[in-house]
Amino acid sequence: MRFELCARPRALASCLSALSFAAMTLSPAVSHAAGQVNIYSYREPKLIEPLLTAFTEKTGIATNVVFASSGLVERLTAEGKNSPADVLLTNEFGLLVQAAKAGVTAPMTSEVISKAVPAELRDPGGHWIGLTRRARVIYASKDRVKQTKITYEELADPKWRGKICVRSGQHTYNIALIASMIANHGEEKAEAWLTGFKANLARKPAGGDREQVRDVQAGLCDLAIGNTYYMAAMLKSPEQKAWADAVTMLFPNADDRGTHINITGMSLIANAPNKDNATALMEFLVSDPAQSLYADANGEYPVVANVPISPLVASWGDLKPDALPLAKIGELRKKASEMVDRVRFDQGPNS
Is 31 a residue whose pLDDT tops 90? no
185: left (phi over 0), alpha (psi -120 to 50) or beta: alpha
Q: Give the pLDDT band (50/70/90) at residue 6.
A: low
| pLDDT band, residue 59 (cuts 50/70/90) | very high
| The predicted structure's pLDDT at residue 95 | 96
**Interval 226-253 mean pLDDT:** 97
Average predicted confidence (pLDDT) for the chain: 92
pLDDT of res. 333: 97
3-class SS letters over the chain: CEEEEECCCCCHHHHHHHHHHHHHHCCHHHHCCCCEEEEEECCCHHHHHHHHHHHHHHHCCEEEEEEECCCHHHHHHHHHHHCCCCEEEECCHHHHHHHHHHCCEECCCCHHHHHHCCHHHECCCCCCEEEEEEEEEEEEECCCCCCCCCCCHHHHCHHHCCCEECCCCCCHHHHHHHHHHHHHHCHHHHHHHHHHHHHCECCCCCCCHHHHHHHHHCCCCCEEEEECHHHHHHHHCCCCHHHHHCEEEECCCCCCCCECEEEEEEEEECCCCCHHHHHHHHHHHCCHHHHHHHHHHHCCEECCCCCCCCHHHHCCCCCCECCCCHHHHHHCHHHHHHHHHHCCHHHCCCC
pLDDT over threshold 60, residue 14 = no
Residue among 119, 124, 93, 121 at smallest CA distance from 108: 124
Assess contact for 136 and 259: CB atoms under 8 A.
yes
Task: Name 210's Cβ contacts closer than 8 Å, sequence gap at least 6.
Answer: 226, 230, 233, 234, 240, 243
Q: Is the pTM of this model over 0.85?
A: yes
Name the more confident of 46 and 288: 288
Residue type present at position 21: F
Q: Per-residue pLDDT tens for 247-262?
A: 999 999 999 999 999 9
Q: In angstroms, rounded to a whole number, what is the distance separating the alpha carbons of residues 345 and 329?
A: 20
- Separation of first and last alpha carbons in the chain: 51
Contact present, 249 and 231 (Cβ < 8 Å): yes
Burial class (CB in 10 A: 0-12, 13-18, 19+), 34: exposed
Tell whether domain 134-260+321-347 is in CATH 3.40.190.10.
yes
Give residue-wise pLDDT tens across range 115-141: 999 999 999 999 999 999 999 999 999
The architecture CATH gives domain 2-132+263-308: 3-Layer(aba) Sandwich (3.40)
Give the tens place of pLDDT for each residue, 311-326.
Answer: 999 999 999 999 999 9
By C-alpha distance, which of 313, 296, 346, 328 is closest to 176? 328
With cut-offs at 50, 70 and 90, classify the pLDDT of residue 28: very low
One-letter amino acid for residue 42 of the chain: Y
Q: Where does the chain hold its CATH 3.40.190.10 domain(s)?
A: 2-132+263-308, 134-260+321-347
Dist. CA 291–CA 149, nearest whole Å: 30
- pLDDT tens readout for residues 158-210: 999 999 999 999 999 999 999 999 999 999 999 999 999 999 999 999 999 99
